[in-house]
Amino acid sequence: MYRIVSAQFLAENIKKIEIEAPRIAKKRNAGQFVMIRVDESGERVPLTIADSNPEKGTITIIVQGMGKTTRELNSKNTGDTITDVVGPLGAPSHIEKFGTVVSIGGGVGTAIAYPTAVALKKAGNYVITINGARSKDLVILEKEMTTVSDEAYITTDDGSYGFHGFVTQKLQELIDSGRTIDYVLAIGPIPMMKAIAEVTRPYHIKTVVSLNPIMVDGTGMCGGCRVTVDKQIKFACVDGPEFDAHLVDFKNLSDRNKIYLPEEKQSAEAYVHRCNLIKSV
Ligand SMILES: Cc1cc2nc3c(=O)[nH]c(=O)nc-3n(C[C@H](O)[C@H](O)[C@H](O)COP(=O)(O)OP(=O)(O)OC[C@H]3O[C@@H](n4cnc5c(N)ncnc54)[C@H](O)[C@@H]3O)c2cc1C
Ligand code: FES
Per-residue pLDDT tens digits for 67-83: 889 999 999 999 999 99
The whole-number pLDDT of residue 22 equals: 97
> Taking the domains of the chain in order of start, what are their residue ranges?
2-89, 100-257
Strands (E), 126-205: 126-133, 151-156, 163-164, 183-187
Distance from residue 2's CA to the centre of ligand 2 (Å): 23
Average pLDDT, the chain: 93
Distance from residue 21's CA to the centre of ligand 1 (Å): 21
Rounded Cα distance between 92 and 138, Å, is: 28
- pLDDT-derived band at 264 (thresholds 50, 70, 90) equals confident
Question: Of ligand 2's atoms, which has the minimum distance to the CA of residue 214?
Answer: 1
Q: Which CATH architecture has domain 2-89?
A: Beta Barrel (2.40)
Residue 92 corresponds to which amino acid? P
- Is a pLDDT exceeding 70 seen at residue 133? yes
Question: pTM for the complete prediction?
Answer: 0.92
The whole-number pLDDT of residue 279 equals: 67
Instruction: Give tens-digit pLDDT for 78-107.
Output: 999 999 999 999 999 999 999 999 999 999
Residue 175 neighbours by CB distance under 10 Å: 18
Query: Could you tell me which residue, 278 or 173, shows the higher pLDDT?
Result: 173
- Asked if 2-89 and 100-257 have one fold, the answer is no
Report in angstroms the alpha-carbon separations of 142 from 66, 127, 153, 166, 274: 22, 15, 9, 17, 35
Distance from residue 73's CA to the centre of ligand 2 (Å): 22
- Is a pLDDT exceeding 90 seen at residue 257? no
Ligand 1, residues 212, 234, 243, 265: which to mutate, most atoms within 8 A of Cβ?
212
Q: Quick one: which H or E segment has residue 34?
A: strand 33-37
Mean pLDDT of the 56-64 span: 95
Q: Regarding the domain delimited by 100-257, which CATH topology (the fold level of the hierarchy) does it fall under?
A: Rossmann fold (3.40.50)
Rounded Cα distance between 240 and 184, Å, is: 16
Ligand 2, residues 225, 239, 253, 259: which to mutate, most atoms within 8 A of Cβ?
225
The whole-number pLDDT of residue 12 equals: 87
Q: Which has the minimum average pLDDT: 173-177, 222-226, 257-261?
A: 257-261
- What's the CA dihedral at 256, 257, 258, 259 to 10 degrees? 60
Mind spelling out the 3-state secondary structure of 209-266?
EECCCCCCCCCCCCCCCEEEECCEEEEHHHHCCEEEHHHECHHHHHHHHCCCHHHHHH
164 beta partners? 156
The whole-number pLDDT of residue 265 equals: 74
Residue 179 neighbours by CB distance under 10 Å: 10
The whole-number pLDDT of residue 281 equals: 62
- Is a pLDDT exceeding 70 seen at residue 62? yes
Protein residue with its CA nearest to atom 3 in ligand 2: 220
- Is a pLDDT exceeding 90 seen at residue 127? yes
Residues whose beta carbon lies within 6 Å of some atom of ligand 1? 33, 45-48, 61-64, 66-70, 108, 111-112, 212-215, 241, 257, 264, 268
